[in-house]
Amino acid sequence: MNFTAKLALRLIPSDLKSQPLFLCIDDTMVPKFGKKFEDVSKLFDHAAHNGSNYLNGHCFVSLMLRVPVWHQRRISYLAVPLRYRMWQKKESKLELAAAMVRYVMPEFHAQKNVIILCDSWYVKQNLVSIVEEYDNLDLIGNARADSVLYDLPPAPTGKKGRPAKHGRRLSIDSDFPLSSEKMGGYYTGCRLVLTNIFGAREVMAYVTSSGKENGTKRLFFGTILPSQLQIFCAWQEKAPLNRVGNGWMKYIPLLLYSFRWDIEVSYYEQKSFWSLCAYMVRSRRGIETLVNLINISYCAMKLPPYMEESFTQYRNGSVQEFQFVLSEQIRRQIFYVNLLQNIEAHIKSRAVIKALRYLCLRDAA
C-alpha cells in the first residue's frame, strides 16, 4: 500500500504540492455461492438486486488516494486505490479503516492538508477520532440527518457555576438558512456547531436541500475550515468547485466531498473488467492477497499515462483501454521474437526479418 502511495505522490507536479490530498473510505460486497470460503457470511446490502436485502459473501473495506495532476490546463484528481481489507466481524469496519489510514499517513507527513472523505456509516467516534492524531489530517463526511447538533457555547456571564459546554440544540430544518442559488444541484446552509461525534471540537455543519422549501435535507460535517484550505478553485476541472467569489468560499469543504464518488467507479471497473469477484481461493489470507494483487494490477494501468510521456494520450481513456493497448503491444513483441527464433533457413529469414523490422519501426513511430 505504501509503495503505491509513494508512486502516486511522485505524480504531483511541483506547483500543485500545496493542494490537498484525499483519502476515500468505503466498503463493497462480493457475493459468493456456498459455505466453503473462509469467513463467508450473510451480509446486509441495501443495493442488493437478488430480491432480498441480504447476500452470501464477503465484505471488503478499502482505501483510495486522490492526488492532483494537470489535465488540459486544469487540475484533475487522479484516483489511486491503495488497499482492501476483509471484514471478519472480529473488529469493526471503522477500526479496519482507521488502521489503514494510520498505516499510510507517514507517507503524507510533508503535506499541508490530507482529508478523509467517507459516507455516514464511517462518521462515528472510532474513525473520526483519528483526525486528532495528525496535525495535517481532517475529515469531511456525510452524517445521519437526525444527528444531535448544538450551537457554540455562550459567552461567560460572570455568574457562579460551571459554564455551559454548548449552546442550544439546533435543527437542520430551521437553523440553517439556505443559499439563494443552487451549488452542485442543491441549496446549502452552513454554520459552526458542536456535536457528540466530535466531542468538544468545533466543526462545520452543512445542510443541503433539493428544494428551497420542502426538499429532502442531508447533513455533512467538516473538521476543516475554508480558511485552512489552499486550493486553486479557478483551475479546478469540474464545476461547481471552479466557481470563485467570496460567496462560494465557505462552501468549498462541502464541494470537495464529491471527490469520494470515484471509489464507486473503481469498484465497478474492478468487478466488471478485472475479475475482482471471480476468486476461487478459499482461505481468508489467500483471498485478501489475490484481491490486493488485482488492485495492484489495476493501479499499474492507471499510473503509466502520468509517468511516461509516450503514454500521455491515454490519460483521457479508461483503464481498460490502456490495458488493451499495452497487452496488444506485448503480444506483438512476443510473436516477433518467437517467429525469428523458429525460422529454420537463414536464406528464407532475410525477407521476414526485413518485414518484421519495418513493422517494429512502424509500431514505434
The backbone torsions φ and ψ at residue 153, rounded to the nearest 5 degrees and listed phi first, read -60, 140
Whether residue 8 contacts residue 303, with contact meaning beta carbons closer than 8 Å, is answered with yes
Identify the pLDDT of residue 343: 57
Which residues does residue 311 pair with via DSSP β-bridges, in sequence order? none
194-207: buried (b, 16+ CB within 10 Å) or exposed (e) per residue? bbebbeeeebbbbb
The backbone torsions φ and ψ at residue 164, rounded to the nearest 5 degrees and listed phi first, read -65, 135
pLDDT tens digit sequence for 92-133: 999 999 999 999 999 999 999 999 999 999 999 889 999 999
Identify the pLDDT of residue 348: 55
Would you put residue 185 in left (φ > 0), alpha (ψ -120 to 50) or beta?
Answer: left
Identify the pLDDT of residue 351: 65
Q: Kindly state the cell numbers that stand for 175.
A: 437553523
Identify the pLDDT of residue 337: 63
Q: Comparing 46-50, 164-168, 280-284, which segment has the lowest mean pLDDT?
A: 46-50
- 364: Cβ–Cβ under 8 A, 6 or more apart, which residues? none
CA distances from 22 to 37, 78, 108, 355 (A): 34, 10, 11, 50
Identify the pLDDT of residue 242: 78
145-165: average pLDDT: 85
- 194: Cβ–Cβ under 8 A, 6 or more apart, which residues? 149, 150, 151, 152, 153, 165, 166, 167, 200, 201, 202, 203
Read off the pLDDT band of 331 (50, 70, 90). Answer: confident
Q: Kindly state the cell numbers that stand for 14.
A: 511541483
Identify the pLDDT of residue 318: 86
Cα–Cα distance measured from residue 76 to residue 176, given in angstroms and rounded to the nearest whole number: 32
pLDDT tens digit sequence for 267-290: 999 999 999 988 999 999 999 999
In one-letter notation, the amino acid at residue 248 is W
pLDDT tens digit sequence for 172-197: 999 999 988 888 889 999 999 999 99
pLDDT tens digit sequence for 191-221: 999 999 998 899 999 999 988 878 889 999 9
Identify the pLDDT of residue 298: 93
304-317: average pLDDT: 86
**Residue for grid cell 511541483:** 14
pTM comes to 0.87
Identify the pLDDT of residue 272: 92
Q: Kindly state the cell numbers that stand for 138.
A: 481532517
DSSP code for 190: E
Whether residue 183 contacts residue 227, with contact meaning beta carbons closer than 8 Å, is answered with no
- 254: Cβ–Cβ under 8 A, 6 or more apart, which residues? 140, 188, 190, 206, 208, 220, 222
Q: Comparing 153-157, 176-180, 259-263, which segment has the lowest mean pLDDT?
A: 153-157
Parallel, antiparallel or unpaired: strands 217-222 and 203-209: antiparallel
Read off the pLDDT band of 338 (50, 70, 90). Answer: low
Identify the pLDDT of residue 352: 64
261-265: average pLDDT: 93
Cα–Cα distance measured from residue 43 to residue 50, given in angstroms and rounded to the nearest whole number: 13
Identify the pLDDT of residue 359: 66
Read off the pLDDT band of 49 (50, 70, 90). Answer: low
Q: Which residue has the higher pLDDT, 241 or 187?
A: 187
The backbone torsions φ and ψ at residue 150, rounded to the nearest 5 degrees and listed phi first, read -130, 150
User: Given a cut of 80, is residue 253 above it in pLDDT?
Assistant: yes
Burial (Cβ within 10 Å: 0-12, 13-18, ≥19) of residue 232: middle
Q: Which residue has the higher pLDDT, 222 or 358?
A: 222
CA distances from 29 to 190, 206, 247, 272, 356 (A): 34, 29, 40, 14, 48
